Amino acid sequence: MRRSLVVIAVTLTLTFPPGRASAQQPVGDTAYTRTEVKIPMRDSVRLFTVIVAPKSAAALLPILMERTPYSAAGAAGGAARNAPVLGLGGYILVFQDIRGRYSSEGTFDMNRAPHSGHAGTDESTDTYDTIDWLVKNVPNNNGKVGVFGISYPGWLTAVAGIGAHRALKAISPQAPMGDAWMGDDFFHQGAFRQSYGLEYSWGMEASSDGSVTPSPARYDTYDWYLSFPTLGALAEAVGAARWPTWRRFAEHPAYDTVWRAHALPRYFTHTTVPTLLVGGWWDQEDEYGPLATYTVLEHSDTAGLDHLVMGPWYHGQWFADSGIALGNLRFGRPTGLDFRELQSKWFAYWLKGEGDGRFAEATVFDAGTSEWRTFDRWPPANAVHRHLYFREHGALSFDAPAATTEGGGDDQYVSDPAHPVPYRPRPVERTYSRTSRWRRWETEDQRFVDGRADVLTWQTAPLADDVTVAGDVVAHLYASTSGSDADWAVKLIDVFPDTVPDRPVMGGYELMVTGDILRGRYRTSWEHPAPIPPNQVEPYTVDLHQQAYTFPKGHRIMVQVQSTWFPLYDRNPQTFVPNIFQARPADYQARTHRVYRTARYPSNVEIDVLPVTR
């Protein structure tokens, strides 16, 4: 949910009606004028807004707006220089601080639930009131408004589509946190994202202006988080109980009415505004949001207004980066530039009437073949469900286990909360530190956990043909634990050949194509956690979301299962307690977990696969 790496803005000369507080300032480019104003909302709260506009234009211009919790003044700083480079020139660009942030009045509420404020206000009504004021008061506008943003501003963009103003003609929610409990920033299927949740809340809510920087006492935060025996001890050490979002974590660990009230897709009953949803396949913060939001919107999109773009990117990489690489991956083309060209055409059509308006339903990048693919439906209509079954001796196969299985019917490991598996190679730097590898962790070589006794691995023989995944990826585990709770993290991995002539560094590389985690207590209900019966086989469904990726001929497909992913995810005590935020040190116990692979209990990963074409 972090702010975009580069923020844009453009400029324009404005004359405001009497009684409007405004301040005009020159910007770096003398062709533009920057104007500041506080726009009144329906409950009289005033929101600080920066308008950067061309001094002269041959025609009336549309308005393109970003609402942000990360400083509108800062966002507008490089507008005149950056907008044309990013394909967003020729607009009146507007930036606004949301309630309670920086120079805006009111009280900040993280991901404010709809109609939760005074007089029924929320982020959608604030957007409506802002648009209404802009089209009536900003000179030389053509009456058409677009809204866009990445991460938190992406969420705010999606919210703009709820009860949209008639002047709102296009929105592009990019990496919006669609559901911060189910699969975005703060929880994934019940597992708490400890390091991100703590450090983000610390930076956002320890001050109202973002002046406080999280300060874990160790460079390797793996050691620092492990030094606290419980989540309660961690919270006490940093004063987290003072932060509203941390209190929400601790008081509402399950998917109750509080989290559902903040889940954006629940509010989309029909599409009224053309919507371009954008996300990254290796977005380390909000991959779930654009996919989940698109899926819900599609249920009612009879007019074909919703479109999806998913590229090979970390969080927000598409905005200003060339997108030619991510970590050790090379894509053979500037995917970021590709996207910005599409984005430019999108807004130009809806706000300026330029172009033919023909946009693919889904535009997705396949990093296995380094090419863009377009589909008229997502997931594709011709995708076939196939299962990769866990087999004996560490094998992975499209063939299901037979009734009699050699080598026993399960694989086991001891998961010890005192020695958790790191989620990326150590040291694990502070999430947003200057040296942090946070952006690329999902593409790190997974060989760094090879050989750990608490990580199970199955892999295919070298593939005889390409296998192209396009759509859903879901793990179906049959497992048991000697405890009464357990986490299940599953990774789908592309194993490169031992020899890669054109890039020797990639020899044997283990690329996590997708992966995610499930907290076992929520196996039957997100709302009502229940203990796991010890030493009893239980089914677990771990949603690994979606991908578009070709496993090339000669590569292997691998699946890994583990029960800790630390410190990104907190340690499950593995002893059931009603609320893990209140667990005691004695609750954290090493337990034996077993994953079954028999005809009766055929653990597998289900993938949507495109037919092989020759």
pLDDT band, residue 19 (cuts 50/70/90): very low
Provide the pLDDT for residue 27: 45
pLDDT at position 11 over 60: no
DSSP letter, residue 348: I
- 298 contacts 329 by C-beta, under 8 angstroms: no
241's tokens: 């109980």
Q: How many of the other CB atoms lie within 10 Å of CB of 345?
A: 17
When pLDDT is cut at 50, 70 and 90, the band that residue 45 belongs to is very high
Number of structural domains in the chain: 3
Pair (405, 518) in one structural domain: yes
Range with lowest mean pLDDT among 294-308, 474-488, 571-585 = 294-308
pLDDT of residue 119: 83
- Locus of tokens 């995810």: 569
Residue 79, pLDDT score: 80
pLDDT in tens, 299-309: 888 899 999 99
Domain housing 584 = 384-609
Identify whether the C-beta of residue 467 lies closer than 8 Å to the C-beta of residue 564.
no
Confidence of residue 503 (pLDDT cuts 50, 70, 90): very high
Question: pLDDT tens digit string along 222-275?
Answer: 999 999 999 999 999 999 999 999 999 999 999 999 999 999 888 887 788 999
Looking at the fold, whether 252 and 305 belong to one and the same domain comes out as no
So what's the pLDDT on residue 506?
Answer: 98
Whether 543 and 521 map to the same domain: the answer is yes
| pLDDT given at position 512 | 98
Contact present, 424 and 446 (Cβ < 8 Å): no
C-alpha to C-alpha distance for 266 and 293, rounded to whole angstroms: 9
Instruction: Please report the DSSP string for 372-441 in residue order.
Output: EEEESSSS-TT-EEEEEEE-GGGBEESSPPPSS-TT-SEEEEEE-TTSPPBSSSSP---TTSTT--GGGG
- 373 strand-pairing partners: 364
**Does residue 82 contact residue 6 with C-beta atoms inside 8 Å?**
yes
Q: pLDDT tens, 349-371?
A: 999 999 999 999 999 999 999 99
Model pLDDT for residues 521-566, shown as the tens digit of each residue: 999 999 999 999 999 999 999 999 999 999 999 999 999 999 999 9
Place of tokens 């578009």: 548
| CATH number for 489 | 2.60.120.260
Query: Which pLDDT score is estimated for 407?
Result: 56
- DSSP characters over 539-591: EEEEEEEEEEEEE-TT-EEEEEEES--BTTSPPP-SS--S-GGG--GGG---E
Structure tokens at 108: 């900040």
User: Does 299 share its domain with 345?
Assistant: yes
Count of C-beta atoms within a 10 Å radius of residue 272? 15
The predicted model gives 151-164 an average pLDDT of 95
d(CA 561, CA 515): 10
Choosing from 375, 394, 410, the residue where a domain stops is 375
pLDDT at position 243 is 96
pLDDT at 406: 54
Specify whether 165 is located in the same domain as 252. Answer: no
331-340 tens-digit pLDDT: 999 999 999 9
Based on the domain organization, do 418 and 323 belong to the same domain?
A: no
Task: Tell me the average pLDDT across 281-289.
Answer: 98
pLDDT digits (tens, 9 = 90+) for 78-92: 887 788 878 888 999
pLDDT tens for residues 236-249? Answer: 999 999 999 999 99
199 within a domain of the structure (yes/no)? yes
Half-sphere exposure of 591 (CA within 13 A, CB side): 27
179 found inside a domain: no
CATH number at residue 107: 3.40.50.1820
User: What is the distance between the alpha carbons of residues 509 and 259, in angstroms, rounded to a whole number?
Assistant: 38
Residue 4 belongs to a domain:
no
Closest listed residue to residue 39, CA positions, set 119, 108, 127: 127
- Using CA atoms, how far residue 113 sits from 180, 259, 597, in Å, is 12, 9, 43
Nearest to 365 by CA among 318, 319, 328: 318
Residues 28 and 58 in one domain: yes
- Two structure tokens written together for 430: 């502070």
Same domain, 52 and 130: yes
In a domain, 6, yes or no: no
If you average pLDDT over every residue of the chain, what do you get?
93
Torsion angle, alpha carbons of 152, 157, 161, 163, to 10: 70
Closest by Cα among 200, 493, 438, 439 to 318? 439
**134 assigned to some structural domain:** yes
What is the predicted pLDDT for the residue at 614? 63
Q: Which two tokens stand for residue 129?
A: 């009131």
Check residue 168 and give its pLDDT. Answer: 98
The one-character DSSP state at 119 is: G
Contact 166, 17 (CB under 8 A): no
Alpha helices in 163-287 (DSSP H): 194-205, 221-226, 231-238, 244-251, 257-262
379 prior amide bond cis, ω within 30:
yes
Q: How high is the pLDDT of residue 32?
A: 83
Please state, for a pLDDT cut of 70, what percent of the chain lies above it.
Answer: 94
Q: Which pLDDT score is estimated for 16?
A: 32
- Position 8 pLDDT exceeds 70: no
Domain endpoint, select from 259, 278, 297: 259
Tell me whether residue 114 is in a domain: yes
- Inter-residue contact 172 to 86 (CB < 8 Å): no
| Distance separating alpha carbons of residues 19 and 49, to the nearest angstrom | 16
Say if CB 5 and CB 12 are below 8 A apart.
no
DSSP sequence for 26-72: E-SSTTEEEEEEEEE-TTS-EEEEEEEEES--SS-EEEEEEEESS-H
For residues 36-59, give the mean pLDDT: 94
The predicted structure's pLDDT at residue 300: 84
pLDDT at site 3: 46
Burial environment of residue 559 by CB neighbours within 10 A (0 to 12, 13 to 18, 19 or more): buried
Q: Which two tokens stand for residue 110?
A: 């993280």
Shared domain for 436 and 548, answered yes or no, is yes
Q: What is the DSSP letter of 106?
A: S
What sign has the CA pseudo-torsion 307, 309, 314, 320?
Answer: negative
> Which among 303, 294, 286 has a CA at the least distance from the CA of 265?
294
Query: Both tokens of residue 318?
Result: 């598409």
Cβ-count burial 319-344 (b if 16+ within 10 Å, e if not): bbbebebbbebebeeebbbbbbebbb
Name the pLDDT band for 423 (thresholds 50, 70, 90): very high
Confidence of residue 319 (pLDDT cuts 50, 70, 90): very high
CB atoms within 10 A of CB 308: 24
What is the predicted pLDDT for the residue at 18?
A: 29
103 and 238 share a domain? no
Residue 162 CA to residue 159 CA, distance in Å, equals 5
Residue 7 lies in a domain: no
In whole angstroms, how far apart are CA 262 and each of 178, 253, 293, 294? 9, 14, 13, 17
- Considering the domain architecture, whether residues 429 and 352 belong to the same structural domain is answered as no
pLDDT at 99: 96
Which tokens belong to 117? 């404020």
- The whole-number pLDDT of residue 405 equals 54
**Are residues 449 and 310 part of one domain?**
no
Q: What is the pLDDT of residue 210?
A: 77
How many helices and strands in the chain, by DSSP H and E?
11, 26
Domain end position, chosen among 318, 352, 375: 375
Asked if the model's pLDDT at residue 26 lies above 50, the reply is: no
- pTM exceeds 0.85, yes or no: yes
Residue 15 has pLDDT above 90, yes or no: no
Q: What CATH number is attached to the domain comprising 222?
A: 1.10.3020.10
In whole angstroms, give the CA distance from residue 481 to residue 576. Answer: 12
Could you give the CA distance from residue 372 to residue 338 in angstroms, rounded to a whole number? 9
* Assigned domain for 181 exists: no
Q: Which residues pair with 467 in a beta bridge?
A: 551
Residue 107 sits at the vertex; the CA angle it makes with 102 and 110, to the nearest 5 degrees, is 85
